[in-house]
A and B are shown apart, each in its own frame.
Chain A
Amino acid sequence: MATIPDLTSEQWDELAERLTLYASCRVIRLSWRGLRIRKGQSFLGLDAADLAGEAIAAVIDGRRESWNIDAYPDFYRFLQSIVDSKISALVRSAENRRSRTLEPVDKKGSTVADFASIPHSQSPDNLCEAVEWKEKFRVALEKELADDSISKGLFECLDAGMTDRSEIAELFGVSINEIYNAQKRLNPRVLRVMKKLDQGKKP
């Protein structure tokens, strides 16, 4: 039997939820750059719950290589690496393109899967589509967020390398809760713009 950690059913449930969120964020990160699974089909259509559920189940029933505790002392990190390699495989198998392998999540905890490098290695057709999509997305989001007072300042903070929420709150002179609320407010608006563009609608 493959090695798995001794977790309660509650902990397994939580792991499934956490990994689903992780998969969704990875998919969104691929999508905003206009990366396509194939021409006209974006990564936004991927089912994050399916990706996460399959990744965990494959480890439990031994279809996937066993959890190497030395390489990944943290089981969740190991699962993240499986999701990354599943997505990477989808990118690689996309038609008419060459793609660089995504680096899995490293043992030390960095979650920088280098999705950013992928669009540059696509076929010219896909690359054009990606660039065009990305440009449309930026314009559409600019319009969508024009009335949002925090987002402009937020981009300036991020441009200056400031990513810590409490630091951003301090700079704005607002409470950290307001920054969390801004994030919650922006989240569905950004997603809505992406999905509309994806369906070929004007956002």
Chain B
Amino acid sequence: MSYNLRQYSDEVWDRFFDFVFPCDEKLTRQEVQAELQRQGIDARPAIARVREALEARRAREALTFARESRSDLLTKAKNVSAPVGQALRETLRQIISRLSGSEQAAYFHKLERAASEDDMQSLLEDLHRLDAISKDGQDAGKSAK
């Protein structure tokens, strides 16, 4: 059979490659996977990279949310005129619940041991200091970038 593919222009060859290696959006997911397999391409590293980026983003969002809500509560606690007894204890409990790990455990322990209003006011001051340190650390991290 006389067969001369060289006679065709580059444009025709481009169409040939579009035909043989389709990548348009009309393909179903199964077709995309089959096409990848035919080309000997493993897409798992791409999927893993995307999952990793999403995970890191979620962690950053959670951290930002926790910091912001803790600061909000501290501001509220500061503005409440002399919250006493059970109300102050409840406010402290909410603030501490936004901490994490050993820090949270230590503050819950302190709250349980706080018998008087003075003890709780002192605990509130501690938490204010912790928040200030945390903010400084965050600002330093930002400026370092």
Contact = CB atoms under 8 A, between A and B. Distances in A.
Interface of A: 1, 4, 9, 12-22, 24-26, 28-29, 32-33, 47-50, 52-54, 56-57, 60-61, 76, 111, 116, 135, 138-139, 141-142, 145-146, 152, 154-155, 158-159, 163, 183-184, 186-188, 190-191
A184 B37 CA distance: 11
B19 A183 contact: yes
Given A19-B46, A21-B32, A138-B5, 8 more contacts: A12-B50, A21-B35, A21-B41, A50-B46, A142-B3, A154-B16, A183-B22, A190-B20
B53 A152 contact: no
A186 B46 contact: no
B20 A60 contact: no
Contacts, number: 156
B41 A158 contact: no
A47 B47 CA distance: 14
Given A16-B46, A17-B36, A49-B46, A142 B4 contact: yes
B42 A49 contact: yes
Given A33-B10, A48-B41, A52-B46, A57 B52 contact: yes
B39 interface: yes
Contact of A20 (B10, B17, B41): B41
Interface stretch (B56-64, B71-79, B112-120, B130-138): B56-64
B25 to A, nearest CB: 7
B18 A163 contact: yes
Interface string B18-42: 1111111101010011111011111
Contacts of A32: 13, 17
B24 to A, nearest CB: 7
A46 to B, nearest CB: 11
B17 A28 contact: yes
Given A56-B53, A60-B53, A25 B16 contact: no
Given A60-B54, A158-B16, A190-B20, A17 B32 contact: yes
Contacts of A163: 15, 18-19
B1 A1 contact: no
Contacts of B47: 12-13, 16-17, 53
B142 interface: no
B142 to A, nearest CB: 14
19 contacts: A4-B57, A16-B47, A17-B36, A19-B46, A21-B41, A24-B39, A25-B23, A28-B17, A28-B39, A53-B49, A56-B53, A57-B50, A57-B53, A145-B3, A154-B16, A159-B12, A183-B22, A186-B20, A187-B38
